[in-house]
Amino acid sequence: MSNFEGADFFAIATRFVEAIPHVSELGIGVVSAAPGSAVIKLPYQNKLIGNPDTGVLHGGVITTLIDTVCGFAAFSDVGDGLPLATLDLRIDYLKPATPGIDLLAEGHTYKKTKSIMFVRATAYHDDPNDPIANCVCAFMRGTKGVQFVGSVRKKDAES
């Protein structure tokens, strides 16, 4: 049984991204969240440019966005609040991001085992069917760290 039964996943996802200093520093925000999936958004910023001649964002920024959305998808699907760690992550770059436009990433789990969470993700601007990058990754469950407690439940959030 998930600890997040009846929880407000948008609120949990928002707390999840705000608790990560680097993610919060980049201004990444939650668009939508559900058990085992989420969509998050990175605002375009000049400091993240990887090609000064075109203004295209550095691929590494896409890695950060995708790692974060996959981490939340795995975390919210497991539901035990225990920490996870990225084991590996593969990204295919399908086309360059368009300069000046916010970047979205959608991630969802597709297999859960006792030790491992398998997650897929894409990064895109406005059409998930026209992705900039595709990703598959695996997370190790129950790694070192502190358990996430005090999940934001619907009744707590409303009171």
Partner 1 sequence: MSSLIELVKSAKADGNPGAMDTAYPYAVYLGLQGSLLDDQLVYSLPFDNKIVGNPLLPAIHGGVVGAFLESVALMTLMWELDVVQLPKTIDITFDYLRSAGPKTTWAKAILTKRGRRVANVRVEAWQDDPQKPVAAAHGNFLTG
Residues near partner 1 (CB under 8 A) = 19-23, 25, 46-53, 57-61, 63-68, 83, 85-93, 96, 144-146
Distance of alpha carbon 62 from the chain centroid: 11
* 79-107: b (≥16 Cβ within 10 Å) or e: bebebbeeeebebeeeeebbeeebbbbbb
Nearer to partner 1, 12 or 48 (CB): 48
Closest CA to 36 of 140, 124, 107, 133: 107
23 contacts: CB under 8 Å, gap ≥ 6: 17, 64, 68
Nearer to partner 1, 54 or 154 (CB): 54
Nearer to partner 1, 60 or 128 (CB): 60
Nearer to partner 1, 33 or 61 (CB): 61
First to last CA, the chain: 24
User: Closest distance between partner 1 and the C-beta of residue 157, in Å?
Assistant: 24
User: Closest distance between partner 1 and the C-beta of residue 5, in Å?
Assistant: 25
Query: Rounded to an integer, what distance in angstroms lies between the CA atom of residue 81 and that of residue 153?
Result: 14
User: Closest distance between partner 1 and the C-beta of residue 154, in Å?
Assistant: 27
User: Closest distance between partner 1 and the C-beta of residue 119, in Å?
Assistant: 13
